Structure 1
Amino acid sequence: MKLHHLNLTVTDVAASRAFLEKYFGMECVSSRGNGFVAMFDDDRFVLTLMKGTNVQYPETFHIGFPQENEEQVNMIHLRLKEDGFEVESPQYSHGYTFYVEAPGGFTVEVLC
């Protein structure tokens, strides 16, 4: 059995969508106004974003985008940093990884 769908409630659907498209290559396949979008990754995993006003995820909640190697992790890290996101340098823990707070109120992990 395979997980195929995840919904995130976000404070800003458009900003979250743009972030996921720009840095992680997700593709918007459906939208309804400013309150809902459905996105696909390369494997056609469905991520939906729905507008909410009081978005509070648990401290350790995050979604992850695994990369093939450290070079790809470093490239995404550099792009985010150059675009003004506050990101700590990648570290070795359960892999080579870093976290970033995405627009809309959720955390993303980039790792290999």
Structure 2
Amino acid sequence: MKLNHLNLTVTDVTAAREFLEKYFDLTCQGTRGNGFAALFDDDGFVLTLMSGSPIQYPQTFHIGFVQESEEHVNTLNQRLKQDGFDVEPPMRAHGWTFYVEAPGGFTVEVLA
């Protein structure tokens, strides 16, 4: 069995969609105004975004994007930092990892 779909409720669908497209190479294949977007990765995973407020995910809730190397993690960390995101440097935990608060009200982990 393979998980192939996840829905996130976000405060700003457009900003969340643009963030995920820019930094994580997801492709939007459908929207309904500013309230819904369907994003796909190159492996068939579908991430849908739906508008809602207020957002109250548990403190430890996050989604993750595994990178092919620690260098890719470092590069993405620097891109996000240069673009104004508040990110700490990667650290060794269960992998080479860091977290970023995404537009729309959810947390993303980047790791290798």
Task: Give the TM bin, normalised by the shorter chain.
Answer: over 0.9
Shift of 1:42: 1.6
Shift of 1:38: 0.3
Amino acid of the structure 2 residue aligned with 1:61: F
4+ residue runs over 3 A deviation: none
CA distance in 1, matches of 2:61, 2:52: 17
Instruction: Deviation per CA, 1:70-91: give whole Å up to 9, x if none.
Output: 1100110000000000000000
Residue 15 of structure 2: SS of its match in structure 1?
Answer: helix
Instruction: Deviation per CA, 1:7-45: give whole Å up to 9, x if none.
Output: 000000000000000000000011000000000012110
- Uncovered stretches (5+) of structure 2, i.e. residues with no partner: none
Aligned residue pair count: 112
Partner of 1:47: 47
Aligned residues with identical type, % of pairs: 71
Partner of 2:7: 7
CA distance in 2, matches of 1:19, 1:39: 11
CA distance in 2, matches of 1:25, 1:44: 13
CA distance in 1, matches of 2:99, 2:68: 17
Amino acid of the structure 2 residue aligned with 1:94: H
Q: State the TM-score, normalized to the length of structure 2.
A: 0.99
Partner of 1:32: 32
Amino acid of the structure 1 residue aligned with 2:82: E
Residue 84 of structure 1: SS of its match in structure 2?
Answer: coil
CA distance in 2, matches of 1:21, 1:8: 15
